[in-house]
Amino acid sequence: MAEHIIELQNVTKAYGDNIVIEDMSFYVNKGEFITFLGPSGCGKTTTLRMIAGFDLPTSGKILFKGQDISQLPPNKRPVNTVFQRYALFPHLNVFENIAYGLRCKKVVNEYENDKGERYSRKEKLTKKEIAEKVKKALEIVDLEGFEKRSVATLSGGQQQRVAIARAIVNEPEILLLDEPLGALDLKMRKEMQIELKAMHKRLGITFIYVTHDQEEALTMSDTIIVMSDGVVQQIGTPKGIYDEPANTFVADFIGESNIMSGTVTGEKKVKFCGKTFDCLDEFEKNEIVDVVVRPEDIHMCAPEESQLKGKVLSVVFKGIHYEITVKVGKYELVVQSTESRKEGEHIGLNISPDGIHLMKPKYTTNVFDGVITKHNTVKFADGEFECDVTQLYPGSYIDEEEYLVLPSGEKLDLTDTEVTVEVGLGDITISDDEEAGGTTGHIISIIYKGDHYRLIVRTDESEEDFVFSTEDLWNENDYVSVIIPKEKIKLALKAVEVKK
């Protein structure tokens, strides 16, 4: 078994009330090329910074070869970092930048005195040793002869190489790379990807790489950790993550996907797009599942011998393949193929069982903690909604003074009663008009599910999420108000009984 060089145990990082990393645990094998992948703000850079020592975890442990290093300062850790914006020292030339770490280092040298006794001394590296090491590092990054150049005169790519040389010259056990290629143009980025990968092989040290570029992650990594919202979504090999995404987030984030809602109709059988398909995943019968199909797993054929029939909506040439959007009933499916089709053409589609991935939907309903307020409204998720409180007590009604009257004639004042609020995925609508709904928030996620969109709106104050489906197209980060019809708000009393 490979040695765990870095292990995170239940690491949480919070800035004040804002939790950026929540209870994160994973390990990194020695010599691995591991990538933290996720959209911006998912906590991947924070995780890297905690390993480097720039940020300390709020709770939990970071182990290096089994030793707790969570509280060590960065200069005491056997890791080196390649920074996002390189962070080269502007007042030093290329040589001095690379030699910076070497000049700080002390090594144990063995000596023999006149009597032949051996002794050791902690010493700084000699000028000659430093010069040799810098030269070697410059060779590795292909910048021979750049020693005397000022870093301000270098191009972005060259600065990037100096930054890498400055880190690897210290022979760290782990090299941390924080979106190192983000500032380079596409061609240069592709070149550096290959070079970094080769460097990783040659040096044999562990690389921890942070990126939001899924293609970069798939190309370079041995292992990918997909993160979102400060939580690990999936850990696996690039192929494993691409072929078997753990949930719709991963499926949507990595590669192109068709994501639809389906129902399990029997053993290894699932119904979506109005047809029943064979699949390989097993779920309970009648369970509602998310179905993920990669565009390249949908095959076009003649309509007669197909499972699905549809009409071509659009064809886009993508270089090595065509991306064809096909309308099947009310669903839109994206297909990738090397063959082209004409717009408006009627075609058939087949999906083989191993191309269909079923996963438990992350959300089936919205649940909030709420409090009944004075006017028989309920307060939750930073807002107040009209609701029907009589549902809490069967047969009750509200009298003119707004008291709830039980069938027995007893009057109740429900103000401040704590309740659980449940709202279905289909019962929420949103509006541009901030005043229209009970609460407001920003759209934080949009996933297309074949015939509708799955949206998540997060309120600003308490960061409650509303998950719902809509057929309208919205933009991420839109500021909207959340509308829920009175009769769709289901209330339940909390376990604690109301005092009468």
Partner 1 sequence: MKIPRFSRKTLCIPYGVFLLFFVIIPMLFILFYAFTDKQMHFSFSNFVQFFSDPTKFSTIIYSLVIALVTTVVTLLIAYPVAYILARSKLKKKFVILMLFVLPMWINFVLRINALRELFNLISQAKPLEGLANANYFKTVFGMVYDFLPFMILPLYTTMLKIDNSLYEASADLGANGFTTFTRVTLPLSMPGIMSGVTMVFLPSMTNYVVSDMLGNAKVTIIGKFIYEYFGTNWHMGSMIALVLLIVVFLSTWLTGGFKGDETVRGTNL
The binder of partner 1 chosen from 7, 23, 83, 135 (CB under 8 A): 83
Q: Could you say whether residue 121 binds partner 1 (CB under 8 A)?
A: no
Select the residue interacting with partner 1 from 20, 42, 43, 53 (CB under 8 A).
53
Give the one residue of 4, 30, 61, 105 binding partner 1; rule: CB under 8 A: 105
Pick from 21, 52, 181, 324 the residue near partner 1 by CB under 8 A. 52
Question: Which residue among 3, 10, 54, 360 contacts partner 1 (CB under 8 A)?
Answer: 54
* Phi (first) and psi of residue 147, to 5 degrees: -45, -50
Count of C-beta atoms within a 10 Å radius of residue 380: 24
Rounded distance between C-alpha atoms, residue 326 and residue 329, angstroms: 10
- Strands lying side by side in the sheet with 490-493: 383-386, 377-380, 365-373, 418-424, 490-493
The helix or strand, by DSSP H or E, that contains position 68, with its residue range, turns out to be strand 67-68
3-state secondary structure of 148: coil
Contact between 321 and partner 1 by CB under 8 A: the answer reads no
Q: Under a CB-based contact definition with an 8 Å cutoff, are residues 467 and 454 in contact?
A: yes
Query: Cβ 442 to partner 1, closest distance in Å?
Result: 24
Fill in the per-residue mask, 59 to 78: x = in contact with partner 1 (CB under 8 A), - = not in contact. Answer: --------------xxx---
Q: Which of 2, 56, 104, 288 binds partner 1 (CB under 8 A)?
A: 104
Min dist. Cβ of residue 197 to partner 1 (A)? 23
Q: Does 16 bind partner 1 (CB under 8 A)?
A: no
3-state class of 358 per DSSP? Answer: strand
β-pairing, 59-64 vs 4-15, is antiparallel
Q: Let me know: does 404 contact 412? Beta carbons within 8 Å.
A: yes
Considering just the CA atoms, what is the radius of gyration of the chain in Å? 29
Nearer to partner 1, 97 or 233 (CB): 97
The residues that bridge with 441 in the sheet, in sequence order, are 459, 480
Query: Among residues 34 and 154, whose Cβ is nearest to partner 1?
Result: 154
Span from 48-56, 220-228, 310-318, 389-397 in contact with partner 1 (CB under 8 A)? 48-56
Q: Which of 1, 17, 18, 90 binds partner 1 (CB under 8 A)?
A: 90
Q: Are strands 59-64 and 106-112 parallel, antiparallel or unpaired?
A: unpaired
| Tokens matching residue 33 | 């090329």
Residue 91 or 374: the one with the smaller Cβ distance to partner 1 is 91
Using DSSP's 3-state secondary structure scheme, residue 131 falls into: helix
- Under the criterion CB under 8 A, does residue 79 sit at the interface with partner 1? yes
Told to check if 274 binds partner 1 by CB under 8 A, we report no
Distance CA 472, CA 478 (A): 13
485 binds partner 1 (CB under 8 A): no
d(CA 310, CA 345): 8
Contact residues: partner 1, CB under 8 A: 52-54, 73-75, 79-81, 83-85, 87-91, 100-101, 104-105, 151-152, 166-167, 170
